[in-house]
Amino acid sequence: MAAKARLNKEALVSTAMEIADTQGLDAVTVRRLAQEHGVTPMALYRHFTDKEDVLDALAARLFEQVVIPVQDDRAWDEQMADLLSAFVKVLRPHPAVAALVVTRGLDSEPALTLAERALGLLASAGFPVEEAAGIAGAALCSLGALVVTEPGGGPAAPADPEERDAAIRARRATLSALSPTRYPHVVAAAGVLADCPNDDAYYERGVHTIVNGMRYAHAH
């Protein structure tokens, strides 16, 4: 990662992504990013106006990677499920960065292409614009929230697998030690709550929950 060519924005975002994935979002630092590229911190300010701008670019990179499924003649809800699944697929490998999606919303240009598609599907279903906007925004943010809670996710992620497992064990122990009379269901679910199995089934359920909520709103 030594300074080879000229300082490049895309490359900077890429290493920011790597740092976020491995050390958590808090480790993404102007100075750290500069150092990783063998350059002075101030050199970054030629490509970003702010640190905020760096994080915006990081979130935008996520949206860029979404492979938006081609439009076909299936029902709107089936296509919506595919669209949301494509989004989740991109978010899952980057739980720390998913927090940015939740807190920053859909400001970048790549995010808007995704939003455009979601709004289009809702419009084809007959939703009024105001309702569609609220529903689409909520859906995308909720999916972000789903991914953020991935074990070892979040802004201050313990990415070290050993440390991660220790944290999960500690959590399960705390939950199991709760009063079974006051928290019967929490204690019963201690195992699942401590290391909630954020597997394919978990996310499929999340997507289907959201799509079905849309179906419900559609049917009044």
Partner DNA sequence: ACCTGAACACCGTTCAAGT
Residue with structure tokens 């290391």? Answer: 195
Per CB under 7 A, contacts with DNA among 85-124 are: none
- Regarding 152 and contact with a second copy (CB under 8 A), the answer is no
42 contacts which partner out of a second copy, DNA, none, CB within 5 to 8 A by kind?
DNA
Element spanning 199, H or E: none
Per CB under 7 A, contacts with DNA among 3-32 are: 6-7, 29-32
Contact in structure between 28 and 58 (CB atoms under 8 Å): yes
- Regarding 131 and contact with DNA (CB under 7 A), the answer is no
Beta carbon nearer to DNA, 52 or 131: 52
Residue with structure tokens 């679910």? Answer: 189
- Regarding 133 and contact with a second copy (CB under 8 A), the answer is yes
Q: What are phi and psi of 88, to 5 degrees?
A: -60, -40
Query: Quick one: CA torsion of 148, 151, 154, 156, rounded to 10 degrees?
Result: 180
- Regarding 220 and contact with a second copy (CB under 8 A), the answer is no
Residue with structure tokens 């399960």? Answer: 172
Structure tokens at 218: 């559609």
Residue with structure tokens 């979601």? Answer: 118
- Regarding 42 and contact with DNA (CB under 7 A), the answer is yes
Beta carbon nearer to DNA, 3 or 75: 3
Beta carbon nearer to DNA, 7 or 133: 7
Site map (CB under 8 A) of a second copy, residues 166-205, x = contact: -----x---x--x---xxxxx-xx--xx--xx----x--x
What is the per-residue DSSP string for 112-162?
Answer: HHHHHHHHHHHHHHT--HHHHHHHHHHHHHHHHHHHHTSTT-STT---SHH
For residue 209, the tally of other CB atoms under 10 A from its CB is: 11
Binding site residues, a second copy, CB under 8 A: 52, 99, 102-107, 112-113, 115-116, 119-120, 123, 129-135, 137-138, 141-142, 144-146, 148-149, 154-156, 171, 175, 178, 182-186, 188-189, 192-193, 196-197, 202, 205-206, 208-210, 212-217
Binding site residues, DNA, CB under 7 A: 6-7, 29-32, 38-43, 45-46, 50-52
